[in-house]
Amino acid sequence: MFEGLFQPMHLLVILVIALLFFGPGKLPELGAGIGKSLREFKKAMSEADKPLLKAESQESKKADQASEEKKNV
């Protein structure tokens, strides 16, 4: 259904329609707003992953310590 949706010609048509609908003055503001939203979303996603990565590293350290103790015994 969406195989050919993002072809260059389709994107050009979408850009022209957006230009006609919003006008040349508003389009850069919309682009900046979308860019800012994407940056904030990526930042929030990376911050959400930090506790998970920290927990995983702590678990791997515990596993390493346990395996070292087994080797010493």
Query: Which pTM was predicted?
Result: 0.49
The answer to whether position 51 is within a domain reads yes
Structural domain tally of the chain? 1
Residues 17-52 have pLDDT tens digits of: 988 988 888 888 988 998 999 999 998 888 877 776
Residue 15 in any domain: the answer is no
What per-residue confidence (pLDDT) applies to 32? 92
Q: CB of 13 within 8 A of CB of 5? A: no
Does residue 56 belong to any structural domain of this protein? yes
Q: Is it the case that residue 1 has pLDDT exceeding 60?
A: no
Residue 10's contacts (CB-CB under 8 Å, 6 or more residues apart) are: 4
- Structural domain contains residue 37: yes
Place of tokens 């995983």: 56
Asked whether residue 73 carries a pLDDT value surpassing 70, the answer given is: no
| 14 within a domain of the structure (yes/no) | no
The residue-averaged pLDDT of 8-24 equals: 88
Domain around 44: 22-72
Residues contacting residue 60 through CB under 8 Å, at least 6 positions apart: none
Q: Is residue 1 part of a domain?
A: no
- Which residues neighbour 19 within 8 Å (Cβ) at sequence distance 6 or greater? 27
Residue 12, domain member (yes or no): no
9 within a domain of the structure (yes/no): no
